[in-house]
Structure 1
């Protein structure tokens, strides 16, 4: 009796398992062949791909262009594609080897050793491509393959793509036609402009094979390509490829291991070059961070905002003297002398600005953050607005906002006020915000949002949409304040004791401000680490460029901020001469 029950239970379990297996097979082969699992996988398409050999000539994704219309991420590489079955057609094999100037045996050997299409790129000329295509043989093609440039520029800014099926379906729930293998933008402009750059169709050569890799339907190779003249789209950025390349080169040569630089066109407040270090690799992509969009302590660069507030409150009297022999907290230190406001700014006297900040708060306890906001140091600096059918579109990916006070009670604490006055405590700004502040001052007080994309173009070159220059909401400093700030910033460079005197012999007249912020951390040897800045604009008489360089987490003696700033300005001058 017990044996009979065990047999019955065993049979029932086997029946249930078989039923479950049959139901699973039915799901796969009958019911959900085009939308399997939560990722909506098209099983029919995927099964065909398993029996298909293909060579992707272009993945169909849109492209980023520099301001002159040159591709920034990819390059076209001449190549000859040979399908393995060419080895069986001896006359064609011999003709192909002759055109490619190869030994017939060597070419046949390479074809024999591979089951996949053979791609040859070395020494491929336009004439060889023409002669190959004149053969009109389905197993041999001469093409220009679109490949990612191995020496890519502006990697932190332009960003990168990756396969992420879950994010793909979440971001584009209505685009069921997209394969789960479609790469999408996950960082930088690749992410913010992803919807515009998604591929409509790739360009490729393909043929079907059996389990051994032999042609399944004869030697028929198909060419598939997007026939639409409007797609893929192209995003024309404001980046100058030459300036971007030189900026990255300077940062590397000067040893700026963590930090970066950003260069703006003052008239349009657009990014000409932006670089962040350390560089992004395949191993550290998950840690990628663009420091030019990261809010960090600006140090004495923030004194520019305190000075602007003092000018607007008429506290910039030239006869007022400050005892700069005292430190930030009014204690004797003896490093400097008794200075007026102009010299205090050019020599970056902490005591002067701690004193000014305290007086300002006594007149208006919101004056410092109000002025910082007028200079664009609190809100995001990048272009934002409604575009196409997207609301609140942001050009910059993961751009942070700035801050002045962490706790309003700090406004009543003398030491907290002093630390805030010199850009520490809870003061945080991004290098992009600082660059835009310098551009605002150079323009006479007019604020603008920073652009890095000028327009989106159809494939045929016509414009789909343009990003117009925008003024952000909120007030701005008046022209009188801006003009006085210009004089103070210029004095930083022209003064024999100014912190920017290094730049006196540059081909452009420079105005700007240095900054050093303590991080509270130390290196392995116990040396304190600092964020070192220099921010400015040039030429002074007719301002054209705003530049910020920052070197993060370095000891005071090792920071290469001024050296990098100096070299970048020289490179900009050289490039400008070549381009005019």
Structure 2
């Protein structure tokens, strides 16, 4: 009896199952087929390729390649794939879930119906990390030009409908919305120049920054910060990344636009202009004996300040003071003017303000009484004014801000916004309107820095470097003391040809010594490169 009941129950269950399958596969086939098919199809987003970044000559600085790969499906016929993938690829596919394949493998595997997808890899030439920047793992711009112009460069999403067989192979692909590739962009950077400067500074192996700008247009032709990161971010492993982060020389810092430094004597043209605007005569002279003594109204010596030339420069007027970088002259002039007048001229030039360049930059600092009282809860002392006259004390500027000041001089007050993206229209950063005599006086002093020889008391501080140079360069050396037993920062900033400026160059080496010994010779190399190539192209 129990046996009959059991058989009856099983027969009944079988009959129900048979009826269900008959209903599904025969009577309601079309309905269930649509349901089954819906389980085997998916819509996939397709990203357009990111745009290419070119230099001014059409050379690629950053570009994308699409790398094919397949994703593992447990229904795959591994024995079939063994004919096309090597053992390492098969192991990677099974263990990680996907594996990259070659273009040759792509053609064969795609014929079999396997789902081929593509990963976008961003490539970069060396020496442009601080300009171009990088993208994150999703190919979104995260730094530099890649971030600034991400919306231009980034490809637009498309979509496709994929029908998949139970074996995991592609039955059909239907493109629903085609993706759009991102826009290509051209930068103002001259990559051969960028590469040359980077390789030369690498030989010196001293942290620093170099910028070359077209004074008429504001186009940045080269922007080098050393040390650099030559390897693309996406190829740097965890160990290398840890080394970069812990490197005391901080290769991630863009020293050209974000490093803040005392400008030293490179600030003296600003003090000279302040004097000229406040009726200081160019013929007024002092007798520099190598030392400036600050005394009280009663004649008591309160402080003594040395010139860089302890034997002194002798009789010195304004133009000579610029030429020989006479500290004593500028101690006197700064104290005579007072910080308020100096600060007002610095404000006219916007010397400590962001320039508007299209990568991250830091705002500088040109101090005044209010700033010091707010920052330190201390009054501004005459000694603060005295050392401000030679670019020491609290002044901090980026190399780009200081270069922008010299471009203003080169253009007689009109200065374009420095930029990296090629543009048809020139934007104006500032337009400082002074009498032409003021610009001419300062320029004459800067020209004599590189052109007037003689003994050490009288010759220009960069004369020995530029004395046989074919093109007249107007410029200024700077040696900025930093204390703590370290060597000073070495500066040179200038423009050429002096009487019809085309290029402005700034060189800064951290803790490298005097400007005339380190920065100026390097600047000459850059000017030589620029004008030799210019001659070949004319």
Tell me if TM exceeds 0.5: yes
Using the TM superposition, give the Cα deviation of residue 493 of structure 1 relative to its aligned residue in structure 2, in angstroms.
Answer: 0.5
Query: What SS is found at the alignment partner of 2:507?
Result: strand
Residues 367/188 of structure 1: CA separation in 2 closer, same or farther (3 Å cut): same
Query: Is this contact kept in 1: 2:349–2:430, CA < 8 A?
Result: no
Where do 1:108-507 residues align within 5 Å?
A: 115=93, 116-120=98-102, 137=111, 147-149=121-123, 151-163=125-137, 182-201=138-157, 216-218=167-169, 227=178, 231-256=181-206, 258-280=207-229, 282=236, 283=241, 284=244, 288-294=252-258, 295-318=260-283, 320-327=285-292, 334-341=310-317, 342-361=319-338, 366-383=340-357, 395-405=358-368, 406-407=371-372, 413-455=381-423, 468-472=425-429, 475-496=432-453, 497-501=459-463, 502-507=465-470
Q: Which runs of 5+ in 2 are unaligned?
A: 1-41, 295-303, 454-458
* CA deviation string 1:369-419 (max 9, x = no partner): 222233331221125xxxxxxxxxxx2314323323342799963321111
Using the TM superposition, give the Cα deviation of residue 353 of structure 1 relative to its aligned residue in structure 2, in angstroms.
Answer: 0.4
Query: What SS is found at the alignment partner of 2:479?
Result: strand
CA distance in 2, matches of 1:160, 1:225: 31
Using the TM superposition, give the Cα deviation of residue 335 of structure 1 relative to its aligned residue in structure 2, in angstroms.
Answer: 2.7
* CA deviation string 1:126-174 (max 9, x = no partner): xx99xx97999467999999643354332112222335xxxxxxxxxxx
Query: Is this contact kept in 2: 1:72–1:153, CA < 8 A?
Result: no
1:510 correspondence with 2:480: no
CA distance in 2, matches of 1:142, 1:150: 26
Residues 196/82 of structure 1: CA separation in 2 closer, same or farther (3 Å cut): closer
Residues 322/446 of structure 1: CA separation in 2 closer, same or farther (3 Å cut): farther
Query: Is this contact kept in 1: 2:61–2:124, CA < 8 A?
Result: no
Instruction: Provide the TM-score with structure 2 as the length reference.
Output: 0.71
**Alignment match, 2:38:** none
Residues 235/80 of structure 1: CA separation in 2 closer, same or farther (3 Å cut): closer
Using the TM superposition, give the Cα deviation of residue 570 of structure 1 relative to its aligned residue in structure 2, in angstroms.
Answer: 2.2
Using the TM superposition, give the Cα deviation of residue 300 of structure 1 relative to its aligned residue in structure 2, in angstroms.
Answer: 0.5
Using the TM superposition, give the Cα deviation of residue 337 of structure 1 relative to its aligned residue in structure 2, in angstroms.
Answer: 2.5
* CA deviation string 1:469-495 (max 9, x = no partner): 222367444433222221111100112
* CA deviation string 1:278-334 (max 9, x = no partner): 224752369632111233211110001001112222324235233142158555773
Where do 1:481-560 residues align within 5 Å?
A: 481-496=438-453, 497-501=459-463, 502-522=465-485, 528-555=486-513, 560=518
Residues 504/148 of structure 1: CA separation in 2 closer, same or farther (3 Å cut): farther
Q: Which runs of 5+ in 1 are unaligned?
A: 1-47, 94-103, 122-127, 164-181, 210-214, 384-394, 456-465, 523-527
CA distance in 2, matches of 1:142, 1:578: 50
Residues 346/402 of structure 1: CA separation in 2 closer, same or farther (3 Å cut): same
CA distance in 2, matches of 1:153, 1:434: 23
Residues 399/557 of structure 1: CA separation in 2 closer, same or farther (3 Å cut): closer
Query: Is this contact kept in 2: 1:529–1:554, CA < 8 A?
Result: yes
Query: What SS is found at the alignment partner of 2:261?
Result: coil
CA distance in 2, matches of 1:556, 1:255: 17
Residues 62/308 of structure 1: CA separation in 2 closer, same or farther (3 Å cut): same
Query: What SS is found at the alignment partner of 2:482?
Result: strand
Query: What SS is found at the alignment partner of 1:519?
Result: coil
- Which protein shows a greater Rg? 2
Using the TM superposition, give the Cα deviation of residue 110 of structure 1 relative to its aligned residue in structure 2, in angstroms.
Answer: 6.3
Residues 110/253 of structure 1: CA separation in 2 closer, same or farther (3 Å cut): same
CA distance in 2, matches of 1:557, 1:225: 63
CA distance in 1, matches of 2:266, 2:469: 21
Query: Is this contact kept in 2: 1:156–1:279, CA < 8 A?
Result: yes
**Alignment match, 1:60:** 49
How many matched pairs? 452
Residues 536/232 of structure 1: CA separation in 2 closer, same or farther (3 Å cut): same
Residues 187/118 of structure 1: CA separation in 2 closer, same or farther (3 Å cut): closer
Using the TM superposition, give the Cα deviation of residue 433 of structure 1 relative to its aligned residue in structure 2, in angstroms.
Answer: 1.3
Using the TM superposition, give the Cα deviation of residue 203 of structure 1 relative to its aligned residue in structure 2, in angstroms.
Answer: 11
Query: Is this contact kept in 1: 2:55–2:191, CA < 8 A?
Result: yes
* CA deviation string 1:346-373 (max 9, x = no partner): 2211110011112222xxx532122223
Query: What SS is found at the alignment partner of 1:521?
Result: coil
CA distance in 2, matches of 1:112, 1:61: 30
CA distance in 1, matches of 2:447, 2:272: 14
Query: What SS is found at the alignment partner of 2:404?
Result: helix
Using the TM superposition, give the Cα deviation of residue 185 of structure 1 relative to its aligned residue in structure 2, in angstroms.
Answer: 3.1
Query: What SS is found at the alignment partner of 2:61?
Result: coil
Query: What SS is found at the alignment partner of 1:249?
Result: helix
